[in-house]
Amino acid sequence: MVETTSDAEKDLKQEMDEIKNEAEEIHADAKQIHEDAEKIKEETEELKEEIKELKEEMEAPQKEQEDFKSKYFYLAAEMENMRKRFDREKQNLLKFGNEKVLSDLIEVVDNLDRTLEALNSEEDEKVKNILTGVDMVRKQFLDVLTSNGLERIESVGQKFDPNFHEALAQQPAEGKEDDEILMEYQRGYILNGRLLRAAKVIVCKN
């Protein structure tokens, strides 16, 4: 039993190290998002300066104004397109810039779940205390993921949907309808409305 407790403590320490590493990766991704946004902002400022110069040039004699107007309206349109692109990329970066990191983090959640399931029947108080700590970490972890737009896919009892579920096997089941999901082998997740990982399931086929 001491050996089991020691193994559990080692597993927990390993999970904590993985969480720390993933947090550092999130910080690096956030830094990259900020740099990309600053770059687009600089490009927008440059366009503003060009438009300002053209406005000044438009005060030249009438015969020169048509060319300046043409350039002005062209750059004004370019600036508007730049602004829209900036807004679009900013939203995508905020929604999906951390997609790779979150994909890795849900693997950590899977490992925490497996640890809880493997030691759930243990009666040793030390092991129970460790499990309580692991469960708290898991819940806090899921709260963080949820706040970043992660949503779990409902599976068991639902009708199989190939857009969100991956069928590992089919089997008959009394009282169940065809294509009803009987069991979930691995949880699936959606990130801001987009599939991040399909749920792996067992489907009814009578």
Using alpha carbons, select from 162, 156, 205 the residue that is nearest to residue 185. Answer: 156
Instruction: Give the ranges where the chain is alpha helix by DSSP (H).
Output: 2-57, 62-96, 99-119, 125-147
Tens of pLDDT, residue by residue, the chain (206 residues):
444 556 666 766 676 666 666 666 666 666 777 677 777 777 777 777 777 777 777 666 666 667 767 777 777 777 677 667 656 665 655 566 666 777 777 887 887 777 777 777 667 777 777 778 778 888 887 887 888 788 889 899 999 999 999 999 999 988 888 999 999 988 899 888 888 899 999 999 98
Query: Residue 161 has what pLDDT?
Result: 93
Residue whose tokens read 């949907």: 161
Q: Are 175 and 153 in contact (CB under 8 A)?
A: no
Domain ranges of the chain: 2-148, 152-204
Amino acid 180: pLDDT: 92
* CATH architecture entry for 152-204: Roll (2.30)
| pTM listed for this prediction | 0.53
